[in-house]
Amino acid sequence: MTYLIAIHGAFVQQWKVIAPGWSWLLGMVANVPMVAAFAWIATQSDRSSVVGYVAIGLFLMTLWNQSQIGIRWSVGEEAWMGTIEFSLISRAPLAVFLFGKSLAYALAAARPAVVAVVAALLIARQPPAVADPIGLAVSVCVAFVAVVATGFIFAPLNVIAARQLDPVVALRAFVVVFSGFLYPVSLLPAGLEGFARIFPTSWAMDAVLIALEGGAGEALALRLASAVGMSAAYFAIAGVLFWKVEERVRVSGALIT
């Protein structure tokens, strides 16, 4: 119950920071031009599954991008203004306080993500063909969990980075390229696919493509299992990282080494 109160407090505080002014309107459409470019490329394919794959990938990519950059700025700005210390000296664990903030950003990021997918489908001018609707629904849910897991592992790094804005921002673009949001990672140049496979999203997006094209059930199940297993591992690693970061921040009082 105490944690719920902390999550609610962090959520409300962050939501109020995000909400005011007209900036959110720009945030809604900021990704549309780039989305249009990706969606147009997708329409050049003869395979109808490509449009569906890219539309789903654009939704997840926008969600990932916006929520990651949001929580990054939030922690960074609080560090700059000296208000993060008040959050850090509260009795709620770091993970709880960041979860509340992330929730607010994820909710805010869902708006431009929906705009992205609508824009992509409008440009495609055709509903994507789906061979296995149930498999697709499961795959999209697993892909969402994979995005959350990938985001969660970066959350402790956001705190360590504190006033250093660039490193975590840089990781964001890196993840987008190797996540498989826009293309299956098997198309990456030789050697890079193996690296991309450490991201659970790469497995989940493979599952999305198999469900769209009606591939073998075993192949779909294998990809989904890999994505779920890796996501679980990510959550476990994030838990350890949170524990380490919290220990350092609260014991040493230092955000930066």
Partner 1 sequence: MSALTTPATLVVQGFLSYKALAWSGIAAYAWNRLARPILFVTMFAIMGRFVGDPVAAEAYIVGMAAAAIPATILDGILPSFSFERNAATLPFLFVSRANRIALLWARGSFHLVNSWASGAISLLFAWSVLRLDFSRVDWVTMATSMVVISWSCTAFALFAGNFSLLLRGYNDLSTFLQGSMVAFTGAVIPLSVLPPPAVVVGQALPFTAGLVAFRAAFAGASLDMVGGSLATEAIVGLAYAGLAALFFARLEMQAKRRGSLSWEAAA
**Which chain residues interact with partner 1 by CB under 8 A?**
21-23, 26-27, 29-38, 40-42, 44-47, 50, 69, 73, 164-167, 170, 173-174, 176-177, 182-184, 187-189
- Asked whether the beta carbons of 78 and 16 are under 8 A apart, the reply is no
Q: Which two tokens stand for residue 63?
A: 């969600």
**Rounded Cα distance, 187 and 208, in Å:** 16
The residue among 158 and 231 lying less far from partner 1, judged by its C-beta, is: 158
Minimal distance in Å, beta carbon 65 to partner 1?
A: 8
The residue among 145 and 151 lying less far from partner 1, judged by its C-beta, is: 151
Minimal distance in Å, beta carbon 9 to partner 1?
A: 24
Q: Match 């849910």 to its residue by tokens.
A: 141
Minimal distance in Å, beta carbon 43 to partner 1?
A: 8
Minimal distance in Å, beta carbon 233 to partner 1?
A: 25
- Asked whether the beta carbons of 176 and 64 are under 8 A apart, the reply is yes
Q: What is the DSSP letter of 256?
A: -
Classify residue 150 as left (phi > 0), alpha (psi -120 to 50) or beta: alpha
How many CB atoms sit inside 10 A of residue 181's CB? Answer: 30
**Rounded Cα distance, 88 and 85, in Å:** 5
The residue among 196 and 238 lying less far from partner 1, judged by its C-beta, is: 196
**Rounded Cα distance, 192 and 134, in Å:** 31
- Asked whether the beta carbons of 238 and 155 are under 8 A apart, the reply is yes
Tell me how long the chain is. 257
Pick from 109, 88, 90: nearest CA to 160: 88
The residue among 29 and 232 lying less far from partner 1, judged by its C-beta, is: 29
The residue among 172 and 248 lying less far from partner 1, judged by its C-beta, is: 172
The residue among 130 and 177 lying less far from partner 1, judged by its C-beta, is: 177
Minimal distance in Å, beta carbon 200 to partner 1?
A: 19
Minimal distance in Å, beta carbon 173 to partner 1?
A: 5
The residue among 45 and 126 lying less far from partner 1, judged by its C-beta, is: 45
User: Can you say how many angstroms the Cα of residue 160 is from the centroid of all Cα atoms in its chain?
Assistant: 19
Minimal distance in Å, beta carbon 40 to partner 1?
A: 5
Calculate ∠ Cα 92-67-112, nearest 5°. Answer: 140
